Structure 1
Amino acid sequence: MIFDPSRYVAPGIGGPQGFKPIRKNIYLPVQAQVQEVCRENDLVKTFVFEFGDPLVNQEFTYEPGQFMMVSMPHCGEAPISFSSSPSRGGSFALTVRRAGRLTTAMHRLRPGDTIGVRGPYGRPFPMAELAGRNLLFVAGGIGLAPLRSVISFCLDNRADHGDITLLYGCRTPADICFADDLEHWRQAGVTCLCTVDEGDGSWPGRVGLVTELLPEVEVDAASWRALVCGPGVMIHFVVSRLLEMGFPRAHIYTTLERHMKCGVGICGHCFLEEKLICREGPVFSLNELDDTRNL
């Protein structure tokens, strides 16, 4: 199917319905300053940012599942999901895996350095729909980053949510992210089960695919909601297993990252299954997706 932007972008609107960008010009980034840098593993770091303008810091809001378009001079621009809870105002966190020119440059950032950001963009997780529900999170690798935003928000508003279970899989023990958060979440009452594809002599935990953890959790598929994030192949097999367990398609949510370019539904670069991922996603319920093999 040929991409027709007029089907998706209303006249005079350059971004998702109802979003509140930092600037009226949605293509013009603003500066955000690094406040903290946390090394998650050899390839992943979490950065905490604030805006230089205190008023912007005060008014800036976002929701779990949304993303920012991040840029640095001579390095290009890329979408990066929030990994912090929006209920902790005044700053925001982005977790970055070193992979290309921009992310390599970001890994050299120190407190006091600045980057360009625009946003927030994208459709978030439906937190109102998730309120009062038992939640099952399934994450692979750095896919835990956007789910960290949701889990932290749920714990900040603990009375609004039921039981919380996290199944987390990584390739090796060295690839695990947010080790301190995992321990904090356990202490806060979250059931956290972790596994790695390839163990080593120092790894005391489970070895195997994250899908192998699903039989170990007791969930009522009709009343729980599942949030899945990670590599496309992992999402496909996790979703298939959840459907076998009886989860309705409308009760499974996932995030898609499909080579987003503009972030606001103009360029069509992220067009997939007749959807603009940056504008209509990146969060989707499974009943909005035809085939998870294409993720």
Structure 2
Amino acid sequence: MSLSLSPSIPSSSSCLRLHAHFIPSLPPMSILRCLTHRFPCRLNLQRHRFASVAAAAVRQDTTVWTPAPLSEVEPAAESLFHVSVDLSDSPDLAASHTRAGQYLQLRVPDAPKPSFLAIASPPKLASARGVFEFLVKSVPGSIAEILCGLKKGTVVEMSQVMGNGFDTSQIDPPEKYATVFIFATGSGISPIRSLIESGFSAAERSDVRLYYGARNLQRMAYQDRFKDWESSGITIVPVLSQPDGSWTGESGYVQAAFTRTKQITNPLSTGAVLCGQKQMTEEVTSILTADGVSSDKILKNF
């Protein structure tokens, strides 16, 4: 029997030689027990690593990929693109989108790995028109940049829809949770659009505000939808971190703008929805909870 050791276990020159007079008299299983006794942590670490690799392989194998053609790739704002995928031949995938805030993985031809994308369109659009819409930020050197450079008709692959999305049942009924603050930065507006256009009884609440942060107006997507969003009962507060000299609205960071204007009259009847930069979501959460808003009324999509 030959005995091979993991590279992370001391080599024979540094370890086995010190105990060579013990090993010839031991049967093979005794050798293993001896090694386990002397190096339990390192052997356990190797088992953990092997188990992690195996588990990852199983997870990868369970992903079901559905091919579908791109139906639109158009600029949405500076560095942002509208991307639509035609699901007319994949009704099961379209029907699996049931709640705003859900996401999926998308693979493009010749890319080494998939990209996670939040679905920007409301679930009803998938069921009515057989389409998923995304807002994608084109980052140089990323898979997103490749996706934003593809042409209509190019076939991509999508995983099954993932995540629980925004559980708006936590802020229902609207008469009990009359105040809802919504926060988004950059492409984080994508699942927020899905939420707004899915409808969460905004018109039946007394104060629903969307604080939407971007560098400038050129980087702010969905401005053409603001009028419809406002007609649904939402007050939109654009916040620009680097505005030009003509800007008279809120400037700086979203969390700072909210601190200046929040006016939380009753924290027990207040809810919130957040999506965007980690610093923003963490600081806004701290502000809300410090003012008495229950953490389970602060909705996130992850």
Secondary structure of 1:166's partner?
Answer: strand
Q: 8 Å contact 1:154–1:160 — kept in the other structure?
A: no
Find out whether 1:253 has 2:299 as its counterpart: yes
Question: Where do 5+ consecutive residues of structure 2 fail to align?
Answer: 1-44
Residue 152 and residue 189 in structure 1: after superposition, are their counterparts in 2 closer, same or farther (change >3 A)? same
Higher percent of residues as helix: 2
Give the superposition deviation at 1:132: 2.3
Question: Quick check: 1:66–1:120 contact (8 Å CA) kept in 2?
Answer: yes
**Which of the numbers 149, 153, 165 marks the counterpart of 1:108?**
149
Displacement of 1:166: 0.6
SS at match of 1:145: helix
CA distance in 2, matches of 1:81, 1:160: 27
2:115 corresponds to which letter in structure 1? A
- Residue 94, structure 1, aligned to residue 134, structure 2: yes
Mean Cα deviation higher: 83-92 or 33-42: 33-42
- 2:97 equivalent to 1:61: yes
Count residues with an aligned counterpart. 241
Instruction: Return the offset for 1:202.
Output: 4.2
Superposition RMSD in Å: 3.0
Aligned counterparts of 2:218 and 2:94: Cα–Cα separation in 1: 37
- Relative distance call for 1:140 and 1:254 in structure 2 (3 A) is same
The superposition leaves residues 101-128 of structure 1 with CA deviations (integer Å, 9 ceiling, x where unpaired) of 3111111123322211011012221133
Name which one, 1 or 2, has greater alpha-carbon Rg: 2
Pairs within 5 Å for 1:125-274 = 125-133=166-174, 134=178, 135-154=180-199, 163-214=207-258, 215-219=260-264, 220-255=266-301
CA contact (8 A) 1:34 1:49 kept: yes
- Supply the distance in 2 between the matched residues of 1:150 and 1:4 (Cα, whole angstroms): 40
Q: In the TM superposition, what whole-angstrom CA distance separates every residue of 1:65-102 from its partner, at most 9, and x where no partner exists?
A: 21111001221201111111112222221111112431
Shift of 1:159: 7.1
Which one has the bigger strand percentage? 1
- Over 4 Å off, 4+ runs: 2-6, 157-163
**Residues in 2 aligned to 1:160 and 1:34: alpha-carbon distance in whole angstroms:** 37
Give the conservation status (yes or no) of the 8 Å contact 1:198–1:207: yes
Q: Deviations over 1:137-177 (max 9, x none)?
A: 0111111111111111116x667866432111122232212
Q: How has the CA–CA distance of structure 1 residues 228 and 158 changed in structure 2, closer, same or farther, with 3 Å as cutoff?
A: closer
Structure with larger RCO (C-alpha < 8 A, sep 6+)? 1
* Counterpart position of 1:274: none
Partner residue in 2 for 1:117: 158
Stretch moving more, 94-103 or 208-217: 208-217
Name which of 81, 91, 108 aligns with 2:118. Answer: 81
The 1:171/1:159 distance shift into structure 2, 3 A limit, reads closer
CA–CA distance in structure 2, aligned partners of residues 73 and 54 of structure 1: 19
Other structure's SS at 1:40 match:
strand
Separation (CA, whole Å) in 2 of partners of 1:139 and 1:242: 15
CA distance in 2, matches of 1:240, 1:58: 36
Structure 1 unmatched ranges of 5 or more: 16-24, 256-281, 283-295
- Over 3 Å counting, the alpha-carbon distance change for 1:65 and 1:58 in structure 2 is closer
